Each structure stands twice: as C-alpha cells, then as structure tokens.
Structure 1
Amino acid sequence: MNLSRGVFSKIKRRLPLILVTSLSLTLFGCDSDSSSGTGYIQLYNLSSTAPDIYLTVDQYDDDDYDDTTYSGISFTGITSRLEYESDTYDIELAWQDEYNSSDLENIYEEQLVVSEDIVKFVVLTGDVRTPEVIDYEFSIRDEDEIEDDSDDEVFNVRLLNMAEDVGSVQLYYSESDESFNEAVLVNQAAYAEMSQNQKLAQDDLIFYITLADSDDVLFESQDISFSYAAEYIMVVRENTGSGTSPFILDILSTSSSTEYSDTNAEAEYRVYNGIVENVLLPDYLGVFDFYLDGIDATAEVSSLAFGEFSESIVSTSGDFSMSLVAPVADTTIVKNHLLSLTENTDTTVFFYLLEEAVDEDGDNDVDENGDGIVDEYEISVNSLVVNNSQSESIYSHQVNIINLIDEDEISDDFSNIKVYFVLSDETISTAGQSVGAVFATPASVQLLNNTYEVYVIGQLESSDVILSSTELVLGESSQDQFLILQKDDSSATGYKMVFANQAG
C-alpha cells in the first residue's frame, strides 16, 4: 500500500557484544513470504565517527551458503542499488580494523527481507561504537512511469530528515532566478522520517531548509540543475563543517551522493609560517604580518614566527588577495597571492621559501665559469593552500604530509624522499604504510589507530638516509594530522618533521 513507501519501518541500535534485535516502530509493505522477483538493497553511511563501512549480504539456500562483501563506503557515501532475488538475507555492517585483511569488525547484524520491486534503503547513523541502523523501503518505478516522467520532464524527490537535534524540518524550492519569497514547500519530515515521493519539474532549482512552522531560512543551496527524469533522496543532516548553518543537504541518486553546503556559510582559515631566513631576503627576520585584501592599518595575523600556526580566522567565503610584510623593516615580501575560500570549509595557508639557481641563457648550465659553484641564486616566497580534513572518524585518521624543504636543496642531495609508518611487528623495508613526500605537494595517508615509528628517508644514490624519525600514537581521541617537513639547522641531519592537528 502506498502509505508505506517512505515511512521508516525499523530502527535498531547495537549493544556491545550482543546481536541486535529489531524494534518495529511501524510496519508497512510486504511480508516475509514475498513472491518471486527481484528487489534491491542500498546502504548509506551517515555515521560521522565511522571509517569506511563494509556491507556483507549472506544467503542461505538449502545446504548452500553464499556471502558477498561490498567495497567500503566512507561517511555520507552510498552503495549502488544491489539487486537480489526476493528472499530473507542476513546482512552485516563492519569496518576493517587491520590493514590488508579480509577480517572485519562487525558493528551490526540483522535479517533483511528483500521484496519484489522494492528498495531496502539502509541507513547507518549515530556513533559507530553504538550505532543506529534504520531501514526504509519504497517501490521502484516501472518502465511506464519512467517513460511518463521523461515525457512530462519531471524528476522524483523524497525528503529524509536525519538532523536529530532539531525536530521537524521543511524543504522548499524555487527556480534559480527566484528567492525564498517565491519558494514552494516540497515536504516536511520529523527526525528519521522519509516523505512520500513527489514529482518536480526539471529545472535549475534552489533549495531552502527551515524548521517546521517557521519562515526563517537556515539553509540555502546553490543553483542545482535537474535535467533528467531521475529519482533522488534529499537528506537533511547536521552540519559538520565550519559554517554556522545547522544543516547540510545530501542529494542521493540511485548510485551516488553529492553534498551541498549553505551558500551563505562562512569559512575558516589559518596561516603557517614555513619561510626560512635567507641572505637574499635580508628584511625578513623570521616573522611576518599577514594581510587580506590589501595592506591596511591592521593585520589579520601579526608577528607570526617561523614554524608557527596562527589562530583560526572566520571569514566569508569568496576570493581574496594575500600579502605578507616583514614588520621590522616594514617591507612587503608577498603581494596579491590568491586565497579562495569555499563555504563551510577549513583551510590552512602554508608560506615557504624557494631558492633556485639562475640560468640566464637557458642552456641548463648554472656554473658558467666552471668553478664548481653556482653563479647566482634567486628566491621567491610562495603559498600553498590546503583544505583541512573535517573528518570525525575515531578508528582511523588522515595524515597529510607537507614537504617544505627547498626543492633544489633536496634534489641536489636526494633523488626522492619517502615517509614510512612502521608498526611494532614491521621494519622500514616491510612497512605497509608509506607515502612519497614531493616538495610543496600535499600527499595523504589514512592510518588505523596504533603506535607507529615514523621515518623520513632520503634516497642518496644506492643509500637510504634517515632524515628524521619520531613516534606517532593514534587513538580514538586523536585528530587528523599534518606532518610538516622543514629545515632545522639545529638537528644532526639539518631537517625535522612536525606533527600538528589539521583542525585549528
């Protein structure tokens, strides 16, 4: 019966070490004695603290047993619609707690009934240590309906409210050249409620979110183009970004998820001073003042010393120019570098120095007189803008490697530099987790919680040289990290690595 489509049917919460039993809040749709035919399973990972989640579907048929585990999906990701014969299946949700292992750590197990022409839409939400799993069901469109939708130039929308702490929400839309004053209500939904399907005319649309019985717009999307007779689930969820809007809108198709932030959302940024002192930059004495959109009476960041981060700064989104001033001499050392801030993002700007040999005649000879000394050097101060991870995952963490050691200095001595993350039962040669460190080019690795010995290795002809080493301990309370490589004249090798939280 149509009333069942889009109303949640089950909520299950996992208790530690105990198989979940399901609590039926409402029961609509097909019973377990489904007729023959095919239906679909689709998983949506909405647990912000979870790593990639793996779906396993187990099928028992007389004496035969078959299980299929699908690729892991990250936070806000979805599987495609997985086709299964009408039957009852055991499903498991799990995460990978060891590298390169087929063994998975289960967080949820339950039976799921697949019925003919029905999508079982399974949502994992809440804290991954005590997750909540909600399954919904709705009918697929038949060929006649798909053809009619195409002829009528409409698309299909269901609203799903997964913003737990705000109660009911309302979703509105307007055409791209209109405002909220002209907006039309799509639907209203309480927490964990999925609305019935609606058909909207294909167009470029703006979506708005308010609380129930309120005209205060708490979210406004950018223009979104709908050009096909497709079907979508509009998911309202809590904002995990830097902006003050309480919401993010995920638009789910039958196989992908796209995230939209409030178009008016703020952004955050901070600045890192990685500029080493150099005789060719005599006015710079290891500190700078940072200005946005021109040098005026007040710097956004004052007297930032080498090797330090500024505090995070909240800004409107948009494009800005950056300038640096050496405060003692009042000399501009950087002017009009671009900073582009996207709404709801968190960004770090790394400033660093590049020293290059001068090749005036372009013959690739920088020692024209043959005395073994480079004839001339020139320097430039450069900026590297990096988006910080905003992940809340507790079982794995990103390490983003930022190599600020001068490119010519490295290439003169080493053919390449690599960072190894070595577990207690590994050596550098057997380490499973490593990543190359290219000058001024971010490179990231995702690490499971554990204790690592971290080595920065430079390759010198046939030799591997340890440039720096330290211990890294990652646990559930850890944040995603930057690993910054830079010069350090006080160290034996002349180099060091520094870890810092990506979130300011």
Structure 2
Amino acid sequence: MTLIKKSSVLILTALLAACSSSDESSGTGYVQMYNASSNSPNVYLEIDDVVRTGAGFGQVTTRHNYNNDDYELNYLYINDNDDYIALLEDNENLSIKSDVKHLKVLAGDYNQPQIKQFEIAEFDKEDKFQLAAINTVASDKEYDLYLAKDDYDFVDAELITTTSYLALPELNELTEDNYTFYVTLKGDSNVLFQSSMVNFDDEETYVVMIRPSFSAEAGGIILDIVSDASSVTSLTHVDAKSQMRFYNAIDEYANVSFKATSTKDEINTDLVSNDIATEYHSVHAGTFTLSMLDSSNNLIVSNYVEAVNKDISLLSIFYQHSAGYPAMISVTEDLTPNEVSHKVQVVNLIDTSPFDTNVSEVDIYFTEGNETIEDTTSYIKDIDAFETKSLYLDSQNYDLTITYQANNQTISILQLADLDFSHKGNYILILEEDHKQSDRYKVTLLNTLAL
C-alpha cells in the first residue's frame, strides 16, 4: 500500500463537487463503489487525484458523474494520522461511457482485495424496474434468490436468479410493486433468509448484494440493496436472532448474576466477578426486563427494560449513578472482523475527580511513540458522564490519557501505556472509578468479534 499526504480541504472540495454536479449533462456516465470487504476500513474513491466519497463494509459511495473520457482511479483509506493510504500500487483506468454506471465492488480480504466492475445501463421504463443479485459471501456458496408479491409465502415466490461469487447475472425486468425476498442455497428448498416487504420504484435498477451479517448467528446473511442512492437499504432476516451479555461495574458487589426475561426467552447467567463480561446468550428480538442479583440471590436491580432488535449483539452495563442508585447503559456491539482500522466505543462511567469534585465530562487521548496529547489526532473530547462516544484507531498499540478541565487547567485522571488494539474485530473501552485502586480509576477493554 502507498502512503499519500493530502489536504483535508481537498475532500471538502470534492464532496461539494459531488453534490453540485449535474446528472443531466450530455455524454455523462457514472461510477459508484460498494464495499464488500468485511475486514476493510472506510474506503474512498480517488479519481484523477481528487478524493470523492467513501464507504465502509456494507456501504456504498455516492454515484459520481463524469463526462465520457478516461480517468485514473484508486482507492484510499485515511489512517488515524490523517494520512491517505492507497490500496493499489498503480492506478486503474476508468473509462466512462455515456448513460452507463460503472459499479465497482471491493471484495475479499482487504490486504489482497478483489475489485470487480459491472457496467449497468440507465433504465427508464415506466412502471418497471430491473433487479439482479451478486454473491459477495464466498466462492464456495451459491444462492437462489426468490421474490414473492407483497408478503406472500415462499410457496408463492418466483425464482429470480441463481448467484455466483462476484458475478452479476442477467438483470430481471419486473413490475413496480411490493415484494418479499427469500434466499436458499442453490437447488435447496430450505429458506435461509426471508426479508420484510420492500417497495421498488419504477425506472430504477437495483443490485442486491448478499453479504455476511457478522452478528449473533453464525453464517447469517444480509441483503444490501444498491441503487443510484448514496446509501444502501439493508434487509435482515425476519427471524434473525440476537445475543446479549452483561457487565457489572458496581464494585460493592464482587460477584453477581443476571436475569433477562421476555415473552419468548428467559436468561439466567452464572455468577460472574465485577468488571468481567458474562458469556453471550442467544435471544429472539423483543422487549426484555433485566435484573441483577448478588451472590446470595438478592435483587440489586429489578426489571429494567431493554428493547432488543433483531440481528444485534448487545452489552448491558450496570453501574452506580452519582445520584446514588444503580443504573444501566447498553452498547450495540460491532462484530465485523476489522483488521486495518478498529471501531472503539468509549463508555464513560466517571463523574468525580481525584479531589471529590464533580466531573461533568472527560477527554480521552490515544498517543503513539513520542506524541503528546496536543500532537495526536486520535482523541475524543467532551464525553459526558454516563455517555458513549466512538472513534476509529489503527491496528497497533497506544498509550492512553484521560483528562478533565478545572479552572482552565487540564488535569489528568489516568494514564496507561501500551493498550493493544491490534486484534481482529472492534473494541469497547469502559472508563470507571475504582476506589480500591491507588489512582482511583481503571479501564476495561473488551474485544468484539463475530464467532
């Protein structure tokens, strides 16, 4: 990969150009990228040395229009030092054709990516739309894609296409209507996936990207519908399950258990020490009541309500609020296998200073080498007490510094050296008070990754 330095002004200029450009210019074609590389960072298109919009895994860039001509194309990501890293050693040639969209699909391992181009002509038939599907899951998986009118059952669905890995089959011309998707393995009648009902507009072309869900269910899939819009419509299996785990940040209780109950599920965890997350528990989507019990099975928290959506992984953290009562904050975990850049969700449970004064918010800095907190570009400021914020960090070790402001002074709460953010997946970083520690504070780092 090639390291490039560019001005941040260039991005702003490019984005403004993308918003203001006209799709009705004569001799105009289009380029758009869908990111199907599950371990990739956010990737930007670079066309003739101008950075255009980007897309993370399961996302799509804006559809950019260009006059008929040849252009140089590369793919960039921005590391946490604000450097641009080029994916390709040599630029691709992008040959724009009139009224044709060049749909680029970035797939496979980001360190050895596959980039496929599909040319899709503009479609403008009234009351009709076009649809096809691309399998981005794996070369050893082939799927049959069915459509049923409205919310009809699978027995009433019509086989639309059979997919091959990173191949675009013939586009199907269909009548504008509401449809339900069903997906099976090739030649099988066992339904792996059923969508909710989807409305399709006429005079549009839709490409359905079948990708891994990286959620609570191993082998699950999601359908991302790519059109000319700058975002995808993601469809989740109507019966997709979720998972929950729990964390006790109240030091008064060294060992606790948790109970979670809905109309479909009941969870009773084993005893677990504080500051250690429980095992995951598979659940159906629904509204849960959560309770926490001490080692003698006495209730500490009773019937806190948690709404659990389908196909998610949820961490529920119980802590002692400054007002004197137990409280709960929940974080939706990102389980994608990121390797280049990791999402770090910071949960701040700190609300008092070393001098027993209130702290309304803290700043957190991640530094490397000889960097100071004034040098680094990797930080989150103004994290309110009992709030969650996130950032992305490169795959490496960092020193961590947590500070707050008092009387126009920056005061350090905690410093830690060599926190490791190099494992595949993403992270949750919990900032806590701990009066048993000499410095009164601690940090817990959890790795999140689909099994």
Q: Report the TM-score, using the length of structure 1 for normalisation.
A: 0.77
User: SS of the counterpart of 1:181?
Assistant: helix
Residue among 387, 390, 394 paired with 1:448? 394
**Residues 115 and 229 of structure 1: is their aligned pair in 2 closer, same or farther, counting only changes over 3 Å?**
closer
Q: Deviations over 1:225-269 (max 9, x none)?
A: 335543311111233222245422111121221222212112111
Q: Does the CA contact (< 8 Å) of 2:76 and 2:84 recur in 1?
A: no
Q: Which residue of 2 aligns with 1:351?
A: 318
Aligned residue runs from structure 1 range 17-166, under 5 A: 37-58=27-48, 67-97=49-79, 99-102=81-84, 104=86, 106=88, 109-141=91-123, 146=124, 148-149=125-126, 152=127, 154-166=128-140
Which 10-residue stretch deviates more, 390-399 or 158-167? Answer: 158-167
Distance 1:100 1:206 in 2: 43
Aligned length: 423
Task: Using the TM superposition, give the Cα deviation of residue 275 of structure 1 relative to its aligned residue in structure 2, in angstroms.
Answer: 1.7
- 2:6 paired residue number: none
In the alignment, structure 1 residue 502 sits paired with structure 2 residue 421: no
Q: CA deviation at 1:300?
A: 1.7
**2:234 alignment counterpart:** 259
Report the Cα distance in structure 2 between the residues aligned to 1:392 and 1:338, rounded to whole angstroms: 30
Q: CA deviation at 1:72?
A: 2.6
Distance 1:407 1:317, change over 3 A: farther
Residue among 370, 376, 394 paired with 1:425: 370
Paired letter, 2:344: V
Contact 2:360 2:384 in 1 (8 A): no
Change (3 A) 1:158 1:83: same
Question: Contact between 1:96 and 1:105, CA under 8 Å: does it hold in 2?
Answer: no
Mark the CA change 1:249 to 1:177 in structure 2 (over 3 Å): closer, same or farther.
closer
User: Radius of gyration: which is bigger?
Assistant: 1
Contact 1:402 1:482 survives alignment (8 Å): yes
Q: What pairs with 1:330-409 in structure 2 (closer than 5 Å)?
A: 330-356=297-323, 379-406=324-351
Letter in 1 for 2:289: S
Aligned-partner SS, 2:270: strand
> Quick one: distance in 1 between partners of 2:242 and 2:251?
29
RMSD after superposition: 2.7
Q: How does 1:306-321 map to 2 (within 5 A)?
A: 306-321=274-289
Gaps of 5+ in 1: 1-15, 18-35, 59-66, 278-284, 357-378
CA-to-aligned-CA distance 1:439-473 (integer Å, 9 cap, x gap): 22111111123432101112232332221111245
How far did 1:122 drift? Answer: 1.1
User: CA separation in 2, counterparts of 1:471 and 1:115?
Assistant: 54
Q: Deviations over 1:117-144 (max 9, x none)?
A: 2211111101111111111112112xxx
Change over 3 Å in CA distance of 1:201–1:498 after alignment to 2: same
Partners of 2:312 and 2:332 within 8 A in 1: yes
- Go from structure 1 to structure 2 and tell me whether the alpha carbon gap of 1:98 and 1:469 turns closer, same or farther (over 3 Å shift): closer
Select the residue among 139, 161, 172 that pairs with 2:146.
172
Question: Which stretch of structure 1 is more off in the superposition, 387-396 or 488-497?
Answer: 488-497
CA distance in 1 between counterparts of 2:314 and 2:245 reads 6
Q: CA deviation at 1:417?
A: 1.4
CA separation of 1:105 and 1:425: change in aligned 2, threshold 3 A: farther
Amino acid across the alignment from 1:315: V
Q: 2:390 and 2:355 mapped to 1: Cα distance?
A: 20
Q: Contact 1:348/1:388 (CA < 8 Å) preserved in 2?
A: yes
Taking the aligned partners of 2:158 and 2:89, their CA distance within structure 1 comes to 41
| 1:414 pairs with one of 359, 371, 379 | 359
Q: Report the counterpart of residue 183 of structure 1 in structure 2.
A: 157
Name the CA shift for 1:227/1:43 in 2 (closer, same or farther; >3 Å). closer
Taking the aligned partners of 2:258 and 2:41, their CA distance within structure 1 comes to 37
> CA 1:402–1:232 in 2, change beyond 3 Å: closer, same or farther?
same
Q: How does 1:4-19 map to 2 (within 5 A)?
A: none
1:407 Cα offset (Å): 6.8
